[in-house]
Structure 1
Amino acid sequence: MKKSPFITEADAIKEDFEGRTNYWMCRPEITNAKDLQVCRAVLPPGKGHDFHRHPENEEAIYVLEGEIEQWVGEQSQRIKKGECAHIPADVVHASFNRSDQDAVILAILSPGSQKGPLAVDMFEEEPWASIRQSKA
């Protein structure tokens, strides 16, 4: 089935997940994309996406508004509007909004589909559990 190349917020797959809202703007389910997924996520103050990995997907996280504390492996850096982080496939990472204002990010993942799960939570495993507790 041919799908429209134009996606509005109303067309997006909306996910309210653990205090944040994800708007999947490009995925095989809503577009003809085969090798791409794009998600705009709103991270309220104090919220984020805890340590996880994408076994089959590399990802770029681009900050549209605000700033986030971005982890890639055991390295972290604050990235702000106009900055980006690249996460290779299967590398543990996390994004946290430590500010008092919403942060909005664009997560771009490739490929568009995968055989296994999109994400695997890692925040209860070491060293991620200790890192998170020490930064809370």
Structure 2
Amino acid sequence: MLINPDAVPTMTFGWGSIKWFVTPSAIAGAGSTLGEVIVNPGMGHARHNHPDAEEVLYVISGEARQMVGDGEEFPIREGDAVHIPAGVYHSTFNTTWRPLRLIVTYTPGGEEKALEAAPDFHLHQAGDIPAWRPA
């Protein structure tokens, strides 16, 4: 099945945006979630966890500081991958003036639904282009 990014909704938050291409709720039989996350320059998301799913981040472009568990923050950049075990707290902060682009997966899928409870969550229908406003 081909998924065109223009054919799926966009989630936006104060820190960036997400397009989920594969989710169990959108594709019958899908067992995982896959999407592209953009973290805006100088922004990041709050430390959080996914109790029932592991997460993998793959950096398409940009640079950031990554925290996983109680360990020290470490730099990530284009080509790096990060594995986050289920239930482990983590955060990502874009340290540059360029957007940070990530491919993100959840296994099993479904954790993306929790993002809808974020206070700064907005859902833009497929084809809509969100207007970016500086923080």
TM-score normalized with structure 2 length: 0.77
Closer/same/farther in 2, CA of residues 8 and 72 from structure 1, 3 Å limit: same
| Aligned residue in 1 for 2:76 | 79
Shift of 1:106: 0.9
Question: Corresponding residue for 1:7?
Answer: 3
- Between Structure 1 and Structure 2, how many residues are aligned? 115
- Distance in 1 of aligned mates of 2:2 and 2:55: 22
Cα distance per residue 1:43-91 (max 9 Å; x no partner): 1111122200001010001100111111101222111100011000000
Q: In structure 2, what residue type is equivalent to 1:15?
A: M
Return the match for 2:15 from 15, 19, 36. 19
**Off by >3 Å, runs of 4+ in structure 1:** 117-121
Unaligned runs of 5+ in 2: 119-135
- d(CA) in 2 for partners of 1:89 and 1:118? 14
Q: Determine helix, strand or coil for the equivalent of 1:49.
A: coil
Specify the code of the residue in structure 1 equivalent to 2:76.
I
Distance in 2 of aligned mates of 1:68 and 1:25: 23
RMSD between aligned alpha carbons?
1.9
1:8-87 aligned at under 5 Å gives the runs 8-75=4-71, 76-87=73-84
**Cα deviation, residue 33, structure 1:** 4.5
Asked if the contact 2:22/2:30 (under 8 Å) is kept, the reply is: no
Percent of aligned positions with the same letter in both sequences?
28
The counterpart of 2:99, out of the listed 99, 102, 107, is 102
Alignment deviations for residues 12-47 of structure 1 (CA, whole Å, 9 cap, x no partner): 231011230111111023223432101201111111
- Correspondence for 2:87: 90
| CA distance, structure 2, for counterparts of residue 27 and residue 13 of structure 1 | 12
Q: Per the alignment, do residues 67 and 89 of structure 1 end up closer, same or farther by CA in structure 2, a change over 3 Å counting? A: same
Q: What is the TM-score of this pair, normalised by structure 1?
A: 0.76
